[in-house]
Structure 1
Amino acid sequence: MYSKAVVLSLLAASGALAAPHNRRYYDDKVTVALSDGGETGAQVTLESTVRDMAAPAISGPFNSIEIRLGADVQNKDLRCQALDNYGYPIVATRGENIDITFSDADKGAWTFREASYVSEVICDPTFVKIDPTSDELNLRVVLESQSTETGSQTVLPSGYRAESAPVATSGPFETVELRVGSLVQKQDYRCQILDIYGNPLTVLRGENKDNTFSDADKGAWTLQTPREVGEIICDPTFVAQKL
């Protein structure tokens, strides 16, 4: 009896009889969830401290991506990326944000600009949010005159009607080119140039004749007559006039 009491006393002193405590699972991983908005989805779990990548079990197509950081991930700004079947980053939006890398920030899923197949998901501590002033998010209008070696490049925001005088010089110019950033949602954006009296200028490209112009990866438009340019207008409601 005495020896049993001594053993119990020693166990109590050593903490062996202390009440058990719950150990929380250490979670420093990143879960990336892909969904089609219905019953189809896939998840991959990646490391948070180094560049890590994995292919989803199914490739989709998916409509959204959500980044879920484990409770013990130190880098709360960690961003991930989804690649399509050709290895190109997929563009997605969340609220007013548009990007090719995506964060958690406790704000839920990002929506793909268009339903996409996903070949690989990458999480990388070096990924950063795209600069809002990047050409990828904006419109660049390039005015040139080869004969006088005169040029002007003006950057305008996308998403709403924007107006600006040409940067540096008003010309006269012979050609105009619109360069639509790859992340601009409306890739068929159109712009217009006005002369110094406020009249729309007619431009030509191939068989097209118009007073608004697009990018379409087809290069510059030629002004019907070389003119000085007083204002540039880019507007998501512009459509081809086909004069």
Structure 2
Amino acid sequence: MYANTIVLALLAATGTLAAPHSRRSYDNTVTVILCDGGETGAQVSGLSSTERAMGTPATSGPFTTIEISLGADVANKDLRCQALDNYGNAIVGVRGANVDTTFSDADKGAWTFRQAAYVSEVVCDPTFVKIDPNSDELSLRVILQSLSTDTGSQTVLPAGSSATSTPAGSFGPYETVELSVGSLVEKQDYRCKILDMAGAPLIVLRGENRDITFSDADKGAWTLETPSEVHSIVCDPSFVAQKL
């Protein structure tokens, strides 16, 4: 008995009887978490972090948030994923000042969908990158032209609040004006107006519409009722059609 005690003491001293080493399981996968703000949610787990990976949630929603959770061993901490609606279109999400169609983890929590959406599939891809905040997709572009003098100007303004700018390059005179609203601008019926050199709004025409504000609506350019120099461009989310 005494000998056994000595042997055990020696084994303990040499570490032979040390506690089993705890090994953490290796995890380089991605989990996408979808929630509706209530009791409904879905997780798509085990997605590859090194190549394009797709998965279908067990329930399609509708969901209001999406969160990306990277495994502890994912090397690419900037990996991004997206959620597709029932038509295969990427859903727009917002987190803080960021607006995007691909979403990162960055330890900053969930992204909120602009509108509750059904999700048919989630996609994670190492080639996805964040959208440049100055991208045309998030901006307004006002295009002024005069075919008779071969004069043109394109001016980019930020969306989201009232913005004013002089035309890029030249005051004109111009004959037409066109507004291009970025595909990710939330208010797709955004309107702008142009002011002459005295600060008065110029009347523009498109089809049967006669107005001092103009929209995109995928209907092309408006014609200035009277060709004119343009001193300022003003875009404002509060503008509405005047229908003169």
Q: Which residue of 2 aligns with 1:203?
A: 204
Q: Deviation string for 1:7-51 (max 9, x for gaps)?
A: 979976986532112211222211101111111111112111221
Q: Aligned with 1:26: secondary structure?
A: coil
Q: Which residue of 1 aligns with 2:230?
A: 229
Question: What is the total number of aligned residue pairs between the two structures?
Answer: 243
Residue type at the aligned position of 1:144: Q
Q: Aligned with 1:182: secondary structure?
A: coil
Residue type at the aligned position of 1:44: V
Between the aligned partners of 2:219 and 2:38, the Cα distance in structure 1 is 39
Residue type at the aligned position of 1:104: D
Between the aligned partners of 2:223 and 2:57, the Cα distance in structure 1 is 48
1:31 maps to 2:31: yes
Q: Aligned with 2:112: secondary structure?
A: strand
Cα-Cα RMSD: 2.0
Residue type at the aligned position of 2:22: N
Between the aligned partners of 1:116 and 1:205, the Cα distance in structure 2 is 34
Question: How much does 1:175 deviate?
Answer: 0.9
1:117 maps to 2:118: yes
Q: Which residue of 2 aligns with 1:41?
A: 41
Q: Aligned with 2:137: secondary structure?
A: helix
Question: How much does 1:69 deviate?
Answer: 1.2
Between the aligned partners of 1:217 and 1:111, the Cα distance in structure 2 is 28
Alignment of 1:155-170 (within 5 A): 155-170=156-171
Alignment of 1:41-60 (within 5 A): 41-45=41-45, 46-60=47-61
Q: Aligned with 1:136: secondary structure?
A: helix
Q: Which residue of 2 aligns with 1:20?
A: 20
Q: Runs of 5+ in structure 2 lacking a partner?
A: none
Residue type at the aligned position of 1:163: T
Alignment of 1:1-243 (within 5 A): 16-45=16-45, 46-243=47-244
More displaced stretch, 12-21 vs 43-52:
12-21
Residue type at the aligned position of 2:204: V
Question: How much does 1:5 deviate?
Answer: 8.6
Q: TM-score, normalised by structure 2?
A: 0.92
Residue type at the aligned position of 1:33: I
Q: TM-score, normalised by structure 1?
A: 0.93
Percent identity between matched residues is: 73
